[in-house]
Amino acid sequence: MKKNILLILVSLSFYHLHAQEIRDALRYAQSNINGTARFNALSGAFGALGGDLSSININPAGYAIFSNNQLGFTLNSNGTTNNSDYFGEKTKETNHSIDLNQAGGVFVFKNQQTSNDWKKISIGINYENTNNLNNSIFSAGTNPTHSIDRYFLSYANGIPLSVLENSNYGDLGHGAQQAFLGYQAYVFNPSSTTPNNTSYVSNVADNGNYYHESTINNKGYNGKLSFNLSSSFRDKIYLGFNLNTHFVDFRQFARFYEDNNAPLTSNYTISRIQFDNELYTYGTGLSFQLGAIAKITNSLRLGLAYESPTWYRLSDEFTQKLIAVSANTTGELAPDVVNPNITNYYDPYKLQTPSKWTGSMAYIFGKKGLISIDYTLKDYNNTQFKPANDAYFRDLNNSLNGLLINAEELRIGAEYKIEAWSLRGGYRYEQSPYKNKTTIGDLKGFSTGIGYNFGGTKLDLSYAAFKRDSKQGFFEQGLTDGAAINTKKSTVTLTLLFEL
């Protein structure tokens, strides 16, 4: 008994108590173009333009452009379609949601002393859902070579048999928990029955095709509340500062199903597996932004902005359930259900997302219209989990550094005015954060919109869409095969603005 306890304690020291993966980091490191309808219609190209409640997302000096107080509220409808291709079999899944996407205001205090070069101070507050995380993906197809047994075996090999036989799920680290589930559901057997055995063999037949279904349902948001202070010098130089607080609330339900059509024998082998995982992530973050806009002429403006990393403090809750069915030529056994009924509460951890620089140019054609261009650099390989001296996080950060790049973004927007009407359009390109450009591909999108100025009130409507390809493994290790996903997302946005 003492020997078994000692083996358990020694074994547990080698298995991390974390469950974070690279895809978790990118979920919060990436953001979408969300904001007012005018901002969306110009594809977010507001770095040198300013004068919009969402412009401080790009350059905090944008609020110094305002001449009057303004309040605004934005409602949007998001539609996402994911087309999946898994070994030639195609499926499609759609998701729709409606959100209050933006609410904020700016208050302008003008300096009445004409001799003072600082003409005004603007104070603003703005909330935006920077990334709507609602999404659904369904993939199905027949894998000719690989079973999900590879996932459980990748964790099991190297763990003493005594750990898998004598431990409780809740007492193990994440990696050992995966091995425990597979062993208790008879997905694999030990090569020998000695307590110190660390080698295992699959109970899944290796001569059949494996029909797979993957269902992923995501719900949640990544919101940002910005407090802005900005000012103008001689109405030529505009400077601004944002202090941003971030909010994360994300839930994911993932179900993986496998059906093996291998010919049955007199020995019981695994014929069907269902693996459920539920993740809940929540937390807060902090970041800041600095920006400047220079009015070179009455028509030409140049902008430069820096956005710091976002420093998140996050917590994860994680539950799992595994069902496996064995069969032979005489029939099926009752399912082996491994349901620990335990929620893993992981220690809070820190995530640092990358900073970014944005250079901008805007040209204004009097009162007729404008064209604006933003160029952004975002160094994704500076994404880090912390504490960095944690062995698991150190390895994960090394993987992030090796796989991710300094990605470019380009946004172009234009507007043309016809009396009280405004016609708008835009284009955006976002480079893949991955070196291989396959795990997540480049993003390309366009936008259009219309606005009407009633005088003290403005009403704006926009439509924006983008598409992006991706191919990520169903699991980070073991079964790393995955479906090729083509994602198309469209957003209809309505904004009501009040001049005060």
pLDDT digits (tens, 9 = 90+) for 114-139: 667 888 999 999 999 989 999 999 99
The answer for residues whose C-beta is within 8 angstroms of residue 334's C-beta and 6 or more apart is none
**Residue 266 confidence (pLDDT):** 85
**Residue 5 confidence (pLDDT):** 38
The answer for residues whose C-beta is within 8 angstroms of residue 320's C-beta and 6 or more apart is 177, 181, 275, 276, 277, 278, 340
Q: Rg for the chain (alpha carbons), in Å?
A: 27
**Residue 207 confidence (pLDDT):** 79
Predicted confidence band at 229 (pLDDT cuts at 50, 70, 90)?
A: very high
Q: How many CA atoms lie within 13 A of 289 on its CB side?
A: 30
Residue 354 contacts residue 383 (beta carbons within 8 Å) = yes
Of 9-23, 48-62, 257-271, 426-440, where does mean pLDDT reach its minimum?
9-23
In the 8-state DSSP scheme, what is residue 180? Answer: H
Q: Which residue has the tokens 């140019």?
A: 361
**Residue 114 confidence (pLDDT):** 64
Mean pLDDT for the stretch of residues 7-35: 71
**Residue 11 confidence (pLDDT):** 40
**Residue 12 confidence (pLDDT):** 40
Mean pLDDT for the stretch of residues 359-365: 97
Query: Which of residues 236 and 15 earns the better pLDDT score?
Result: 236
Collapsing DSSP to helix, strand or coil, 395 comes out as helix
**Residue 205 confidence (pLDDT):** 87
**Residue 17 confidence (pLDDT):** 60
Please choose, from the candidates 186, 105, 76, 128, the residue with its C-alpha nearest in 3D space to the C-alpha of residue 491: 76
Spatial separation of the C-alpha atoms in residues 299 and 365, rounded to whole Å: 6
Mean pLDDT for the stretch of residues 103-118: 86
> Between 1.10.10.10, 3.40.50.300, 3.40.1010.10, 2.40.160.60, what CATH number should domain 2-499 receive?
2.40.160.60
**Residue 470 confidence (pLDDT):** 96
Predicted confidence band at 262 (pLDDT cuts at 50, 70, 90)?
A: confident
**Residue 2 confidence (pLDDT):** 34
Of 11-25, 138-152, 178-192, 396-410, where does mean pLDDT reach its minimum?
11-25
Spatial separation of the C-alpha atoms in residues 257 and 273, rounded to whole Å: 6
Spatial separation of the C-alpha atoms in residues 96 and 104, rounded to whole Å: 25
- The pTM score is 0.91
The answer for residues whose C-beta is within 8 angstroms of residue 1's C-beta and 6 or more apart is none
Query: Where are the domains positioned within the chain?
Result: 2-499
211, two tokens: 């029909």
428, two tokens: 């955006």
**Residue 13 confidence (pLDDT):** 40
Mean pLDDT for the stretch of residues 214-226: 96
β 300-307/356-365 pair status: antiparallel
Across the chain, mean pLDDT equals 92
Instruction: Give percent of the chain with pLDDT exceeding 90.
Output: 82
